[in-house]
């Protein structure tokens, strides 16, 4: 068994309550062994159908989409934008207010793509495919992974081969909502952490593994941050109280906190 990122065969086992993870000793990427991991093949369909647009979580998500859209527009003023794992297209719909952006979304969930084509602007192009099998002559100025980068698994290398073929000279890769294995909540909660997706997540990165990725594929880190206070999920007084309770063993469930997720902009 080798690391999906750096090919190292040196690893240590991380025992969770219900799953077994491996951490590469060379780059610190955490990953599942595909032969041991029983991925739910219907997870994506269940996910897209379970998103209640009237729930408080959906409303907060829409606010976060708007924040991320403004962030992207500051990084990419014009050109072709590809959202990998676009789901029902809500984030691309937020981006559609920027007229200089030409928007494309791909997802392996056919139901999500059908919804995206129905509910969003006709100027956005949606295709039911993964990035490796995406057939296009276009060159993209920005490729987005919003909450999808951690699901690439052993397709990571082929994904970056594809990215190199469809990228413009100055293409930026923007990764939003990427779970961070250095998060204190992940350390304390393990697979009870709300960002640990036991159904389909296959990779858990941290800054060290991202730096290794950049070295392998010749990217520079243009931006690296841990979004929290600027998000609609932050309640820092309550969340710090929650952390104290968690450390004391008085709390068992997860909550928003600084360091939970990474936001990354890469460029050549």
Residue-wise pLDDT for 226-268, tens only, equals: 999 999 999 999 999 999 999 999 999 999 999 999 999 999 9
User: What is the spatial distance between Cα 243 and Cα 225, in angstroms, rounded to a whole number?
Assistant: 21
**pLDDT at position 38, please?**
58
For residue 29, is it within any domain? no
Other C-beta atoms closer than 10 Å to the C-beta of 127 total 17
DSSP code for 232: T
3-state class (DSSP) for residue 100: coil
pLDDT at 51 over 60: no
**pLDDT at position 39, please?**
57
User: What is the spatial distance between Cα 38 and Cα 45, in angstroms, rounded to a whole number?
Assistant: 17
| Residue 252 neighbours by CB under 8 Å, 6+ apart | 189, 192, 246
For residue 98, is it within any domain? yes
For residue 28, is it within any domain? no
User: What is the spatial distance between Cα 33 and Cα 2, in angstroms, rounded to a whole number?
Assistant: 9
**pLDDT at position 47, please?**
53
For residue 17, is it within any domain? no
pLDDT at 43 over 90: no
For residue 192, is it within any domain? yes
Domain count, the chain: 1
What number is the average pLDDT over the span 143-153? 97
Q: What would the pLDDT profile of 162-218 be if each residue is shown by its tens digit?
A: 999 999 999 999 999 999 999 999 999 998 999 988 777 899 999 999 999 999 999
CATH classification at residue 130: 3.40.50.150
What number is the average pLDDT over the span 116-134? 97
Domain coverage including residue 144: 47-267
**pLDDT at position 163, please?**
99
Q: Count how many residues are written for the chain.
A: 268
pLDDT at 40 over 60: no
For residue 259, is it within any domain? yes
What number is the average pLDDT over the span 137-146? 98
Among 199, 103, 98, 217, residue whose Cα is nearest residue 157:
217
For 94, the enclosing helix (H) or strand (E) is: helix 90-95
* CA dist 86 → 28, 137, 197, 221 (Å): 28, 20, 18, 23
For residue 32, is it within any domain? no
Burial pattern 136-166, b for ≥16 Cβ within 10 A else e, equals beeebbbbbbbbbbbbbbbbbeebbebbeeb
For residue 4, is it within any domain? no
Q: Which range is least confidently modeled, 51-55, 56-60, 146-150, 198-202?
A: 51-55
What number is the average pLDDT over the span 25-34? 92
């Amino acid at each position: 068994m080798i690391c999906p990122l750096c090919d190292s065969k040196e690893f240590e086992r991380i025992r969770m309550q219900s799953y077994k993870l491996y951490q590469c000793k060379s780059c610190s990427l955490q990953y599942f062994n595909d032969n041991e991991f029983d991925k739910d093949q219907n997870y994506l369909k269940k996910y897209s159908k379970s998103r209640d647009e009237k729930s408080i979580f959906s409303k907060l998500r829409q606010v976060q989409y708007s924040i991320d859209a403004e962030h992207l527009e500051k990084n990419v003023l014009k050109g072709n934008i590809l959202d990998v794992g676009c789901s029902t297209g809500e984030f691309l719909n937020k981006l559609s207010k920027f007229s200089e952006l030409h928007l494309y979304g791909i997802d392996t969930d056919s139901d999500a793509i059908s919804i995206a084509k129905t509910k969003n602007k006709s100027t956005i192009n949606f295709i039911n495919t993964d990035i490796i099998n995406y057939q296009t002559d276009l060159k993209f100025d920005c490729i987005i992974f919003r909450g999808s980068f951690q699901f690439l698994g052993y397709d990571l290398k082929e994904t970056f081969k594809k990215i190199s073929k469809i990228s413009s000279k100055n293409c930026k890769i923007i990764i939003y909502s990427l779970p961070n294995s250095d998060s204190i909540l992940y350390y304390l909660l393990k697979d009870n952490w709300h960002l640990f997706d036991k159904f389909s997540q296959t990779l858990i990165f941290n800054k060290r593994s991202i730096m290794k990725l950049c070295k392998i594929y010749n990217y520079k880190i243009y931006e690296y941050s841990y979004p929290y206070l600027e998000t609609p999920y932050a309640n820092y007084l309550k969340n710090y109280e929650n952390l104290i309770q968690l450390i004391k063993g008085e709390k068992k469930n997860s909550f928003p906190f600084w360091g939970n997720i990474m936001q990354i902009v890469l460029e050549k």
